[in-house]
Amino acid sequence: MPRLGSLRATLWLRRAMSLGVLEPRPPGKRWLVAGLGNPGLPGTRHSVGLAVLGQLAQRLGVADGWARDRRCAADLALASLGDAQLVLLRPRRLMNNNGRSVARAEL
């Protein structure tokens, strides 16, 4: 399986956990996988990241498990891959502002 991204971080996403979106998990590998793009504009070159993230969520069986996090203006889904925990982040901002959603995910 190809690498899922180069942004490796230890995530707690306190806000999402306090909302009951994510369940606590013992310490281990955690990866943030952010699908960058323009929401509402599928099929454009600027939304390829969102399309890839959607396919990944489908393959991991969490495509129906998205939960909105207003604090970081994104949808989140939690998945496991081997011994790693993946936090999938789908920003709700336009492409040029996706970095704000990623930064607010409290890495």
Residues classed as catalytic: 46
Cβ-proximal residues to 76 (8 Å cutoff; 6+ apart), any chain: 13, 16, 21, 22, 66, 67, 68, 69, 87, 88, 89, 90
User: How many alpha carbons lie under 13 Å from residue 70 in its C-beta half-sphere?
Assistant: 2
Cβ-proximal residues to 51 (8 Å cutoff; 6+ apart), any chain: 35, 37, 42
